[in-house]
Amino acid sequence: MSETIFSKIIKREIPADIVYEDDDLLAFRDINPLAPVHVLVIPKVEIATVNDIQPEQAELIGKMVLAAQHIAKQEGIDEDGYRVAINCNQHGCQEVFHLHLHLMGGKQLRNLAGH
């Protein structure tokens, strides 16, 4: 897998507004936020897409969801609610090929039908 901009953020080669970090994960604010809270949770290991997740990485993926839960509480949006989403490849509108979970909230989001 070729290096992405998120690898550079992990290595601190480019700046990011980091809101959470542990041994396995990094989370930072999306540079082009679609909601008042828009955070990306990424694994430090390079995984390109959902298609590339291996069974032995199931715990890591679970940790990504738990990190989103933690950050939602930290950001004060847990009670009102939020969305977690992972885009995959072209039809999913994935632009950065380093697995990332979007955590979005802080306003009423549109439903998946766009209403």
Candidates 10, 16, 68, 101: give the one binding ligand AMP (CB under 6 A). Answer: 16
Piece in contact with ligand AMP (CB under 6 A), picked from 26-34, 56-64, 70-78, 105-113: 26-34
Under rule CB under 6 A, residue 93 binds ligand AMP: yes
The strand pairing partners of 18, in sequence order, are 28
Binding mask 44-73 for ligand AMP (x = CB under 6 A): ------------------------------
CA pair distance 97, 46, nearest whole angstrom: 9
Which of 49, 60, 56 has its CA nearest to residue 1?
A: 49
Catalytic residue, candidates 38, 98, 100, 102 = 100
CB atoms within 10 A of CB 41: 25
Query: In this complex, which beta carbon is closest to ligand AMP, that of residue 60 or of residue 84?
Result: 84
Angstrom distance (rounded) from CA 55 to CA 53: 7
Catalytic residues: 100
